[in-house]
């Protein structure tokens, strides 16, 4: 008799635990159902988000001319901040004696008032090389 009581108690306890677990589960579902739309990821949305990231990646290296016109022209087209102006040979003579490799190094690392990568923080070293070559072309 004693044993049957215990078993009954055990079954009762187990049933209570299962019920509690079921309630917790239901609460979780409810929380998900009443959450604002933007907080819930649906399968299709994840794919969409990835697609957007991929399409904003540059398709390949940008040309030196394009980068110059986007990032460098503000200073090197006008002489702002004391930048040597593109095409003004006399402003480049001394600089050119350092050699192209040093000019590229300074453009990548920054040099006095010249900001690192000329503010093009996502420019690769190769893109910086192409841009410096475009900047000093024809001197
Ligand atoms: C905020 C203004 C500014 C921007 C933007 C800028 N530069 Fe400069 N740059 C300077 C200044 C100022 C100097 C001269 C620094 C000195 O000699 O003290 C300079 C110098 C240089 C030099 C010569 C370095 C040397 O050793 O003499 C190179 C090469 C150069 N910049 C490349 C670039 C390129 C490439 C970009 C664009 C990706 C760029 N700069 C964008 C201001 C700028």
Report residue 104 as tokens: 């590229």
What is the rounded distance in angstroms from the CA atom of residue 36 to the CA atom of residue 83? Answer: 51
Residue 58 pLDDT more than 60?
no
Indicate the range of 13-22, 59-68, 82-91, 129-138 predicted with least confidence. Answer: 13-22
What is the rounded distance in angstroms from the CA atom of residue 123 to the CA atom of residue 47? Answer: 28
Residue 101 pLDDT more than 80?
yes
Report pLDDT for 21: 58
What is the rounded distance in angstroms from the CA atom of residue 84 to the CA atom of residue 93? Answer: 10
What is the rounded distance in angstroms from the CA atom of residue 96 to the CA atom of residue 62? Answer: 24
The CB of 72 under 6 Å from ligand 1? The reply is: yes
| Residue range 73-89: mean pLDDT, rounded | 97
Residue 11 pLDDT more than 70?
no
Q: Which of 130, 137, 138 is nearest to 64 (CA)?
A: 130
Q: Return the number of other C-beta atoms located less than 10 Å from residue 111's C-beta.
A: 14
Report pLDDT for 12: 63
Q: Is the dihedral of CA 73, 102, 122, 114 positive or negative?
A: negative
Mean pLDDT of the chain: 81
Residue 107 pLDDT more than 70?
yes
Report pLDDT for 59: 75
What is the rounded distance in angstroms from the CA atom of residue 112 to the CA atom of residue 19? Answer: 70
Cα 21 to middle of ligand 1, angstroms: 65
Report pLDDT for 132: 98
Residue 112 pLDDT more than 60?
yes
Cα 8 to middle of ligand 1, angstroms: 84
The CB of 124 under 6 Å from ligand 1? The reply is: no
User: pLDDT-derived band of residue 19, with 50, 70 and 90 as boundaries?
Assistant: low
pLDDT > 90: percent of the chain: 56
| Residue range 54-77: mean pLDDT, rounded | 88
Cα 138 to middle of ligand 1, angstroms: 17
């Amino acid at each position: 008799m004693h044993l049957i009581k215990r078993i009954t108690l055990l079954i009762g306890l187990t049933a209570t635990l299962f019920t509690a677990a079921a309630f917790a589960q239901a609460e979780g579902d409810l929380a998900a159902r009443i959450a604002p739309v933007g907080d819930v990821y649906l399968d299709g949305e994840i794919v969409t988000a990835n697609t957007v990231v991929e399409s904003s990646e540059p398709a390949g290296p940008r040309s030196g001319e394009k980068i110059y016109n986007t990032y460098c022209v503000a200073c090197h087209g006008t002489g702002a901040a004391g930048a040597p102006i593109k095409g003004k040979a006399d402003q480049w003579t001394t600089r050119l004696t350092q050699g192209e490799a040093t000019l590229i190094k300074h453009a990548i690392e920054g040099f006095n008032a010249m900001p690192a990568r000329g503010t093009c923080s996502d420019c690769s070293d190769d893109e910086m090389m192409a841009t410096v070559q475009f900047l000093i072309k024809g001197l």
